[in-house]
Structure 1
Amino acid sequence: MTMIRGSLTKIKNSKAVQLLNRWKVPHLLVPAAVIAFVYRQGHKEFKSIDWGTTLHSIREMKISSLALLLAFAFLSVAVIGGYDLIIRRHFRLPIPAGTIFRYAWIANTSNSVIGFAGIAGAGLRTVLYRKWDIPMPTIAASIAFLSTMTISGLSLMAWAGLFGWLPMGSVLRVHPWIRWVVWGDALILPGLLLLQRSRLLAKWFRRQEKSPMDWGTIGTTVGLSVLEWTMAGMTFWLTANLLLPGLPLSEGLGVFTVAAITGLVCMAPGGIGGFDLTALLGLHLLGHSSGVAAAVLVLFRLSYYLIPWLVGLVMAAVEFTLLGRRKPETVGAPDLGYVLNPWQKLWSGPEQGRAIGEIGAWSLGKLVFAGGFVLLLSAATPRLLIRLRFAEELLSTPLLRLSHQLSVVIGLLLIVLSWGITHRVKPAFGWTIALLAAGSIFTFTKAFDYEEALFLLGVCVMLWVSRRHFYRASSPYGAEHAARWGFVTLVIAFAYIYVGIGTRPGLLNAVGPWPSTASQFAVTAVMALSVCWLVLVMVLLFRPMRRIGKGRSIFAALGGKVHIPYTRRKDRLVVVGEPEGDPRHIGKAMEDFRRFADRYSLTVEFGDFGAAAEEGDNGDV
């Protein structure tokens, strides 16, 4: 036994396993396996999708119908915020109801799009709750409560399907393996009820009290979970009913329930892959074409997942830039911010040098990434014919072609620059502002796509409001980063070509300068890749970071009063000797050194010098 344990420890600590863990490979294996299995079961339906028909079906929808769908989807997403209101009452959290609802929207929408097994939502809630000085045990207990009870409603709907109250029979007959998945999900609810009432786990949910969870809280949470999944299913049905008139509500809820259970098993964000393929199978078995069924899935993903997530990103960016709770220790400091109205705060921003916070910077980075993605998608997919004709009559052919090509170039560059925005790099901020403004102009002139232009301008305004928070000169960036982003842009360029070819209807072959063949899309993609890779190489060669800590260096802190020897190791600045200078200033010198390191997104590492610094700081006057 000892030998086996030792062998397992060696395997766990091996470089290969550590590399796999670093790239999150184990977390991706289960979702990939489930998606591959589901795809194998329904690959014929997937291959029969006509993506041109799919996009055409979406573009032909009325604005009023889309607005109704989006409003109902937002209402469905808002229902999920009820969980946080329950834990606010149960754990007596000192957070206003409106604030905790905003936190819930940020965490839930991000978890639905990028969260594996709830990790993203848990991390965001931890950061947001810590702003209110809530103890970690209480945060952990609340997250554990949410993680276990949010799927109880889907389990109850699984029982409804097994008893025939929700029609699932067609899918279960054609694919019997799904029946086992549904049974497994149905058994989750009784298991959760037993766990919640057990004294063994009571300390997790009652803050170390020994009494089990009260039935009132359990019943309220299960009821809210049923409401959450029912509202999500009704959003799916409403989406399908707009494209497939006459679809009964019971049939829509049945398909959604089976698909949601399959998506839950794959543990991917939003059940992506498993949910979509199963829903496609279900709609196809009901007699609907694969192209229109795919349009239902695309529109559902946009209305229930992506657009609410973008709203959540804006909320997160505002939360960590313009908002924030005033700490008691800062009350004595002179502060005139309370006399400013919201408009003045919007354009002046917080004081210089104040950190935006990792969540806020991350949110802005993802908004920039989304802006680049929108530009590429707009360039790859066909536009409304009336806009194309009008653009041809008003603008010259070379200008239209140039606008299309530059939209692709700017889209790829924005995707790369999103990394710099996430790390609060000032040069990346300047380039991003310029490219967002240019991208909005070019996407408008190429086919009068005002929707995409307004989105880009909105992201540009969000960045401009946060401009004083971008203070770093650079961030760790080496050959590995350049290669990684080069690979990412290559994959995205191939996706642009694939989407462009698959969604171009034949009627566009005779319309204007827009690409319609594989070679035309490839030429545009190669040009965009060339510009993007040239930028990656230039940043690698001329980055300011390259000169920081090369060999043994000396940092002159406090205008030369203290000299700190250091060297650089990857993303750290390591103090390699005793600071020289007045001992009274060592503490402040170390703070100066930390600010210097933070300017390049580096962390400071030192051993016994930390104690010396604290002593020097206490003696400073």
Structure 2
Amino acid sequence: MSIIKKKHVVTIAKVVFPLVILGIIYFEAQGIMKDFNWSLLNLYMDRLSVRHIIYIFILGFIALFPMYYYDVILVKLFKIEISNKKLFWMSLSANGYSNLVGFGGVAGATLRSLYYRRYVHNDVPYIKIIAKLSLFYLTGLSILSFLIILFDGRFLNEMKMAKIAVIAVAAYTPILFVIFSLRKSTWSLENVKKSYLGELLLISFFEWLFVVICIWGISNILGVHISLLSILPIVILSSCVGIISMIPGGIGSFDFVFLIGMEFYGVQAELCLLILLFYRLSYYLFPAILSTPFVLKELFRNQRTNYL
């Protein structure tokens, strides 16, 4: 098969596979949604105060904090100096759009390439370094998935589809380290050191742990008093299915598994939907909107520089 045909097959698969997943979710969700009480959802919404909503958005904002340290490492790798304020906005916008758009962090990598290229020397392969760093985004989820398989397999037995996704994600970090061990060229770039592996793993671990804490916090604010250890496997399983589905933000796939998991603890579907709604708004949409003026300013500056 020629390279062009292979690329064509891969492109079709990237479109068809998410559509198939969404189709399965749609038919499976019919049983849940047919008894859905929209009036009850409105009642829960009316009970929320402005203070509660502010707390929820603060939680979503804080959940992005560990990802800031990806950019701290990049600054070390590039041996450049950027003010903490500037680095904060660079990180927030890259991570916010990466989460919102999805597609393996392409949006985040594109924005980082745009931001850093005027700081680094021409001989520094900054695009390759940023791309290699993005390989570590899933390592934290992989470690947490492995722990779920070892210590809490209840939901895995209930949801066969999720079990396959969790096993696949759990295998990601070991496979990545095997590749790094066998291929010396992986870290043959200037300024890149193997000593950063531990830091990147730790950042990714806390990144995904903060996502769990964010959803747990939103649940408690909405009156769903579930323990952190109980909600952790639900969020991890949902995230794994969302990643494997290749749907931006795991929309639909993440939500479906989360609904099933929360119903295991007797949480009403209406409340689950409200938790998901505020999670999407606070963790995905709010940071992207907040950082949009900074992104536009940097894009304008880049165009002006190219013109000159």
TM-score (normalizing by structure 1): 0.45
Distance 2:22 2:56 in 1: 28
- In the other structure, the counterpart of 2:136 is 149
RMSD: 3.0
- Whether the aligned pair in 1 keeps the contact of 2:99 and 2:249 (CA below 8 Å) is yes
2:144 alignment partner, SS class? helix
Distance 1:147 1:47 in 2: 40
**1:239: how far off?**
1.0
- In the other structure, the counterpart of 1:44 is 31
**1:199: how far off?**
4.1
Q: 1:191 aligns with which of 175, 178, 201?
A: 175
- Whether the aligned pair in 2 keeps the contact of 1:81 and 1:104 (CA below 8 Å) is yes
**1:208: how far off?**
5.2
- Whether the aligned pair in 1 keeps the contact of 2:93 and 2:288 (CA below 8 Å) is yes
Deviation string for 1:385-409 (max 9, x for gaps)?
xxxxxxxxxxxxxxxxxxxxxxxxx
Distance 2:137 2:99 in 1: 13
Does 1:207 pair with 2:207? no
**1:206: how far off?**
4.2
Does 1:33 pair with 2:20? yes
- Whether the aligned pair in 2 keeps the contact of 1:117 and 1:268 (CA below 8 Å) is no
Does 1:113 pair with 2:100? yes
- In the other structure, the counterpart of 1:560 is none
Deviation string for 1:430-456 (max 9, x for gaps)?
xxxxxxxxxxxxxxxxxxxxxxxxxxx
- Whether the aligned pair in 2 keeps the contact of 1:73 and 1:303 (CA below 8 Å) is yes
The structure where helix makes up a greater share of residues is 2
- Whether the aligned pair in 1 keeps the contact of 2:120 and 2:126 (CA below 8 Å) is no
The size of the alignment, in residue pairs, is 307
Q: 1:235 aligns with which of 193, 208, 214?
A: 214
One-letter amino acid of the counterpart of residue 193, structure 1:
F
Q: 2:251 aligns with which of 272, 289, 297?
A: 272
Shift in alpha-carbon separation, 1:45–1:135, aligned structure 2, 3 A = farther
> Looking at both structures, which has the greater relative contact order when contacts are Cα pairs under 8 Å and sequence separation is at least 6?
2
**1:242: how far off?**
1.9
Distance 1:263 1:356 in 2: 39
Deviation string for 1:495-531 (max 9, x for gaps)?
xxxxxxxxxxxxxxxxxxxxxxxxxxxxxxxxxxxxx
Distance 1:84 1:232 in 2: 19
Shift in alpha-carbon separation, 1:208–1:69, aligned structure 2, 3 A = same
Does 1:245 pair with 2:229? no
Please list every run of 5 or more consecutive structure 2 residues that lacks an aligned counterpart in the other structure. Answer: none
Does 1:129 pair with 2:116? yes
Distance 2:145 2:36 in 1: 29
Distance 2:120 2:193 in 1: 25
Deviation string for 1:541-579 (max 9, x for gaps)?
xxxxxxxxxxxxxxxxxxxxxxxxxxxxxxxxxxxxxxx
2:125 alignment partner, SS class? helix
Distance 1:168 1:247 in 2: 18
One-letter amino acid of the counterpart of residue 191, structure 1:
I
Distance 1:107 1:175 in 2: 34
Does 1:73 pair with 2:60? yes
Q: 1:305 aligns with which of 275, 284, 291?
A: 284
Distance 1:40 1:134 in 2: 53
- In the other structure, the counterpart of 2:268 is 289
Identity among equivalent pairs (%): 22
**1:98: how far off?**
3.4
One-letter amino acid of the counterpart of residue 200, structure 1:
K
Deviation string for 1:55-105 (max 9, x for gaps)?
442342122222222212211112211111112213324544432332121
**1:304: how far off?**
0.9
One-letter amino acid of the counterpart of residue 196, structure 1:
F
**1:311: how far off?**
0.6
- Whether the aligned pair in 2 keeps the contact of 1:72 and 1:235 (CA below 8 Å) is yes
Distance 2:305 2:257 in 1: 39
Deviation string for 1:248-289 (max 9, x for gaps)?
111111211110111111122222221111111111222111
Please list every run of 5 or more consecutive structure 1 residues that lacks an aligned counterpart in the other structure. Answer: 326-354, 359-590, 592-621
